Structure 1
Amino acid sequence: MKGTIQNRESFIRQLSSRLQRSAAPKHVERPQWGYTPQHKTLQNLSQDELLAVLQKQCTRINTNCIVTSSADLATTMEKVITDNGGGPIMAWQDERFDAYGLTSLFTQTLPEKQIELHTWDPAVGRENIALVEKANIGITISDITLAESGTAVLFSNPNHGRTVSFLPTKSIILIPKSSIVPRMTQAAMQIRERLQNGETLASCINFISGPSNSADIEMILVVGVHGPMYMTYIIIDDL
């Protein structure tokens, strides 16, 4: 539902008057910048080179980074889940899990090991929150990944609960190698292109750079205040 803009014209006229303009402008030209360093950082790197940048940054943000093939993903995921203490687990409801060959892991292997797994279900509303609050691990997928800062960009939607990435004690984020871009600049460009193509974007876009860290009080670093204490990125070599 769109909102209504009230008193727009009078507000713009007042601004124009303060700027000593004779009339309010009818159109604003986008500025043409003479120097754009934001586009040159990590420019022309291959996906393998961007992956190397991401891996190095993960060591700085206390994030475990594992690279695996699509064929080995289920085995890798099972080991990461076991190493992180098993369930309860909350995962997004996402068709990409099926595309990555994780259906058998989620529906057979984990239940056989008595590892409790729940999938976010918009039909049950706040029952999801009760489950995710008790979860040991949250599993999500990065839509865009920023090599420079080691950031996973998650788009929420009815099947992608926002709390899955920050309420559990531990977080596993699947990162398709094809999703890796140099930095925030390219992520913003992708988001803008989606809007221009008429796509409806998420009401919430989370930029996650490793486990929760805060040093707001006396510059003492505390982990886990605003989200997971442990973070694992599983890079899927999908190229």
Structure 2
Amino acid sequence: MTDNQNREKFLKNLYNKLETEPSECQSHPYVQINNLSNETFADKTKDELLEICYEKVKELNIEMTEVTENDLEEKLKDIIISFGSGPMILPTDKRFDSIRPFLEKEYKEQISYWKEGAEYRESNINAAEQANIGIAFSEYLLAESGSIVVETSSGQGRTLHFLPTHYISIIPKSQIVPRSTQAINDYAKRIERGEKLGSAIHIISGPSNSGDIEMQLVIGLHGPLKVHYLVISDK
């Protein structure tokens, strides 16, 4: 069966039922009325975008802290303590190379790593479910919505972000963008360069919540109770 099989017959029947005639798209081409998707916050610096994001995350019950690379370990330790320490799950991610020695020194017995391979699917999900804290790097931070963008890959499945009781997202300041438009444009460029992306892309906006239960906001209904964004002041 081809895509066009019975196409004309189907459309003719549809037009008859609707008592209308087919129109030519060329007679009324799509014209974009504005360019807000690209212009919104486009003139803002990284510092200005961060300030916009600070205001937004307050509405989303997210804590956010900016730190230098030198202070990252100490601040990460403070957040882990505030979340009650306990079992943690980390992705298999080279971006952790610089802080992995610190984490393993302080919390070696509490850390589980996401294991690569389909045969570890159930054990990975169980580890994420049992974890009090999940820690992962984000690809982007969207200033307009206060959301982070993460990829599902062999080194980190989506449950790593959604099942732990608490979640810490580490984001280089250079990866703050105005809105999802810029993140998607960057992904498109990466695809053009032949880069391999994750199997799924997720946009996460803070701890899980639901406002459809008797119009009452419930936090942590089906995901992390608390989320902390840790923004690294890189170059």
TM range (shorter): 0.7 to 0.9
1:36 aligns with 2:32: no
Misfit runs of 4+, over 6 Å:
none
Q: Which amino acid aligns with 1:158?
A: S
> 1:85 maps to what in 2?
84
> 2:195 maps to what in 1?
199
Q: Aligned pair in 2 of structure 1 residues 16, 45: CA closer, same or farther (>3 Å)?
A: farther
* Alpha-carbon shift at residue 200 of structure 1 (Å): 3.4
Q: Among 114, 124, 129, which residue is 1:128 paired with?
A: 124
Q: Give SS of 1:87's match.
A: coil
* Alpha-carbon shift at residue 118 of structure 1 (Å): 0.6
| TM-score, scaled to structure 2 | 0.87
Q: Among 163, 166, 170, which residue is 1:170 paired with?
A: 166
* Alpha-carbon shift at residue 199 of structure 1 (Å): 3.1
Q: Which amino acid aligns with 1:65?
A: M
Q: Give SS of 2:5's match.
A: helix
> 2:18 maps to what in 1?
none
> 2:142 maps to what in 1?
146
Q: Give SS of 2:112's match.
A: strand
Q: Which amino acid aligns with 2:55?
A: K
Q: Give SS of 1:138's match.
A: strand
RMSD: 2.4
* Alpha-carbon shift at residue 107 of structure 1 (Å): 2.0
Distance, in Å, in 1 between the alignment partners of 2:175 and 2:94 is: 16
* Alpha-carbon shift at residue 194 of structure 1 (Å): 2.5
| TM-score, scaled to structure 1 | 0.85
Distance, in Å, in 1 between the alignment partners of 2:129 and 2:187 is: 30
* Alpha-carbon shift at residue 196 of structure 1 (Å): 2.9
Q: Aligned pair in 2 of structure 1 residues 63, 22: CA closer, same or farther (>3 Å)?
A: closer
1:106 aligns with 2:103: yes
Q: Aligned pair in 2 of structure 1 residues 210, 32: CA closer, same or farther (>3 Å)?
A: same
Distance, in Å, in 2 between the alignment partners of 1:193 and 1:11 is: 38
1:118 aligns with 2:96: no
> 1:60 maps to what in 2?
59
Aligned-pair identity (%): 35
Distance, in Å, in 2 between the alignment partners of 1:58 and 1:142 is: 16
* Alpha-carbon shift at residue 83 of structure 1 (Å): 1.4
> 1:8 maps to what in 2?
3
Distance, in Å, in 2 between the alignment partners of 1:14 and 1:40 is: 44
CA contact (8 A) 1:78 1:105 kept: no
Q: Give SS of 1:50's match.
A: helix
What is the count of residue pairs matched by the alignment?
Answer: 225
